[in-house]
Amino acid sequence: MNQRQIPTIHPETRFYWDGARQGRLLLNSCPACDKAYFPPRPFCPTCGSRDVTVIEASGKGRLYSYVISHLPAPGYEPPFTVAVVQLEEGVKMVTNIVDCPAEPELLVLDMALEVTFESRGDVTVPQFRPAGGGT
């Protein structure tokens, strides 16, 4: 099996990847409109403010949507799940669901999820699994 891809780290996303390496899910937040957002960027996508901060997310979310891929991808053995997770903070993230077979009867929309972290060499990638450790 091929190795999973390593994300490119840019200066404006470094805090996110550094947090993940520490087992923390960090997000940008805008004090002006009181909204967290993802992916990381130096301005608020809602109001345009550049006065943004970094917050630690709870790591809890719900399955918003998903697709089961039956096509091979570097480092992934099909079938695998690509999902949109809605965090408690209101942010939606595209991620993988792990520790759960890629079967529709097990991937229930709105199911509780929790973050877990996968080390890929020098980079740690947040992913999600069913709350409580999986099936």
pLDDT digits (tens, 9 = 90+) for 73-92: 988 999 999 999 999 999 99
- Would you put residue 132 in left (φ > 0), alpha (ψ -120 to 50) or beta? left
pLDDT digits (tens, 9 = 90+) for 33-45: 999 999 999 999 9
Query: What are the extents of the domains in the chain?
Result: 11-130
Tokens of 9: 């780290």
Is the pTM higher than 0.75?
Answer: yes
